[in-house]
Every structure is written in C-alpha cells, then in structure tokens.
Structure 1
Amino acid sequence: MISKKIYNTTSIAIVISMAMLFCSCADNYKRVGDEAIKNIFPSGIAEDFTLTYTETNGEKEEDGEVVSRVVAVLKSAVSNDFDNLSFSYRTFPDGLKVEFFDDKGMKSTVTADFGIIYSKTNLIDLQGNVVIETEDGKKLEAPQIFWDRNNDWIFTQEKFKYTNPEEGTVMDGEGMDFNRSFSFLHANRTYGLMSIKEKKDD
C-alpha cells in the first residue's frame, strides 16, 4: 500500500513538472531589430515614369493663359509612391535621369542608380554612380549627392571627381557643395592629382 502511494505521488510530481516545463517554454520574447520592423508598401507603383516640373513668372499671354517654362524633367523605369505615410516620399529603385533647364534653356543632366524624393522637405537623395553633366561639359561624379530643391543647392560628403574641360582641370576630393550651374563651388578637401591649365602669355 505504501509503494502505491509513493507511485501516485511520483506520477503527480512528474505531471506537475511537465506542466511547469511547457508553461516556461512560452514565447515571451520581445522582438527588436529587423523582427520589429513593420512592412511598408507603396500606395502606388508607376512604370515608365515621367514627371515634368514647371514654374510661372506671373505673366500672361494674350489669350489669358499664364506663361510657364519647363524647369526639369525626371524619367525613371519604376517609381514607388509612399505618399500614404506621415513623412511621404517617392523612390526610384531602378535608377533615374533628370534634365534641368535654366532661364536660357541650357540643360544639365543628372543620372543615378537609385533616388528618393522627400515631398515635405523638397530634398532629393541620389545614390549609386551619380553623374551631373552641364551643357558646357562640366562633370561631377560621386557615390551619393543631395539636392535641396528649395534653395537649388547640391551637396555631398562623399568622395568626388570634378572635371572642367573649359579650364582643363580635374579635381578629386571629399565633401563639396555647389549650385546647379557650377558657377559657385566649395570643396571641403581636395587631394590626389589635380591638373590645371596654364594661361599663355601673349
């Protein structure tokens, strides 16, 4: 009789231990990092995307229509629209090409492997093999460039290569800010080989 009681007590102890073991195996882990990131989906996807920026000077034509001119034309194979978010933006995962036109119709071209336009701040982030070329042949190459559309100002903290065929110069450096026409240019640091065209005396 005593052995039967010991057996029942042992069985009850095993059952309680197993129940505690299964309860302690519950997944109470609070997920962080990549596991906690919510999936974000675009509100719209456009293929063979073309966006034309225009501006008006307030003047009107004889028929009453407001005079406007094309400032820039942006083209991309794919555009993802995330305007459904509180901080809206648009991405160009397959690269983009932007053509800018000044008051005289002179064109500058920008190409990049990837781009983001932040709608609220009017800031454009260009990444991967970024190349800016002006109509007179000036060229800037960098892995990443930011363009502040409000102030028409371009800057980078990355390494760059700037070629100016008019002056016959090639400049390598790191960190630069400039206006779109390259009429003002400030480099934080320059290094490497710099060739400068000398003026000939008459």
Structure 2
Amino acid sequence: MKKTYKYYLLNIVTTCVVALFFSCKDNFKEVQKMGISENEPIGIAENINLIHTDSGKVKAILLSPKMLNYQNRDFPFFEFPNGITLDIFDDQNKKNVVVADYAINYSETKLIDLQGNVKITTSTNDTLYAEQLFYDQATEWLFTNKPVKFVKQGDVYFGNGFDSNSKFSNAQVLELTGTMTLDE
C-alpha cells in the first residue's frame, strides 16, 4: 500500500511540475510595460536644439521647448506640444523656415502634422500661412484642405487647400477664394 501511495504522489507532483513548466511564457516585454502607462510618454525632452548634418553640412536645425516621446504606443509618435521652429538648408545653404504652435511626427507613416499659426517662409520669401499643414516625409509633399494664404512674388492667394513639393516649385492653392497684388 505504501508503494502505491508513493507512486500516486510521485505522478501527481510530476504532472503539476510539467503543467507549470509548460504554462510559463516569455512575457518580458509585458513586464517592462507594467511600470509605464500607454497614456504617458516614455521620454520628455525640454529646450531642444537639434542640429542635423550630412557630410559635414548643416541640413536642419530644430528648436522646440518640449518634445514628448510616445514610441511605446502601437502607433508611435513624437509630440511637440509647445510648437517648433525648423530651419531647413538646401544644397546652396539657402534657408527655409517652418514655424508652428504644435507638431506631431508619426514614426511609422512618416507623416508630420503641423497645427496652429503654421508659417513656412522659403529662401525666396514665398510664404505660406495655414492653421494646419501635413508633410509627407516619404514623398516630400506638403498638403492641407484647410484655409491658406500664400504670398508669392508680391501676389497673395487665398484658398481652401494647398499642395506642393518641399521645394515649392509647383505650389498650388486649391479652391481659390481670392487674390490680390501687393504694391512694391
């Protein structure tokens, strides 16, 4: 009888250990996320002065009072809640300036959403004013369907939308609502 009892006890213990062993899974990433709420950024940077260079030449300078890093989300992004100023330099070192009250950069889609008093000034003093403007980094394309004001060589165009490449060589005000010419 003692042998049978030990045999059953050994089988039960073995079964439990095997069940526990196979029920364990690798949940290291879940454990890492436990201390971080998905609603909170994983990083905060203040007083940003980021200089991007390529082959020793300055290509862009990004200034912002605050950046929030939400790379921990399923759809990761960087948020600039207090706005940005971005100086972009071309191959001839001519500067274009982008200013916005708020910006968000979606990492996976490479789409930048600029909002609030958006102003882009080119090296030739062409200036675009909009309340919202999108920039597709993959195609280097600017667009919006919101009201815009575009100043080009003394002419002012008003419309409900804008399309252009990043060089403004084919800038188009959509749904033109008015134009005027400024006196020199």
* CA drift at 1:140: 0.3
- Give the structure 1 partner of residue 4 of structure 2: none
- Give the structure 2 partner of residue 49 of structure 1: 48
Q: Which residue identity is paired with 1:116?
A: I
- Separation (CA, whole Å) in 2 of partners of 1:128 and 1:171: 19
- Separation (CA, whole Å) in 2 of partners of 1:39 and 1:150: 27
Question: Residues 107-164 of structure 1, C-alpha deviation per residue, up to 9 Å, x if partnerless?
Answer: 1001011000111121110000000001221100000000111221111110000011
- Is the 2:157–2:173 Cα contact (8 Å) retained in structure 1? no
> Cα RMSD between the aligned structures?
1.8
Alignment pair present for 1:99 and 2:98: no
Give the unaligned 5+ runs of structure 2: 1-36
Indicate the structure (1 or 2) with the bigger Cα radius of gyration: 1
- Separation (CA, whole Å) in 1 of partners of 2:79 and 2:47: 13
| 2:172 corresponds to which of 186, 192, 195 | 186
- Separation (CA, whole Å) in 2 of partners of 1:52 and 1:122: 19
- Separation (CA, whole Å) in 2 of partners of 1:160 and 1:113: 16
Give the unaligned 5+ runs of structure 1: 1-37, 56-66, 198-202
* CA drift at 1:179: 1.7
- Give the structure 1 partner of residue 12 of structure 2: none
Alignment pair present for 1:114 and 2:113: no
Deviates more, 1:67-76 or 1:81-90: 67-76
Q: Which residue identity is paired with 2:109?
A: T
- Separation (CA, whole Å) in 2 of partners of 1:117 and 1:107: 22
- Give the structure 1 partner of residue 34 of structure 2: none
Q: Secondary structure at the match of 1:140?
A: strand
Q: Secondary structure at the match of 2:172?
A: strand
Aligned residue runs from structure 1 range 1-202, under 5 A: 40-55=39-54, 67-164=55-152, 166=153, 168-195=154-181
* CA drift at 1:71: 2.3
Q: Which residue identity is paired with 2:124?
A: D
- Give the structure 2 partner of residue 7 of structure 1: none
* CA drift at 1:185: 1.3
Identity of aligned residues (%): 38
- Return the TM-score normalized by structure 2: 0.74
Q: Secondary structure at the match of 1:104?
A: coil
Q: Secondary structure at the match of 1:143?
A: strand
Q: Secondary structure at the match of 2:67?
A: strand
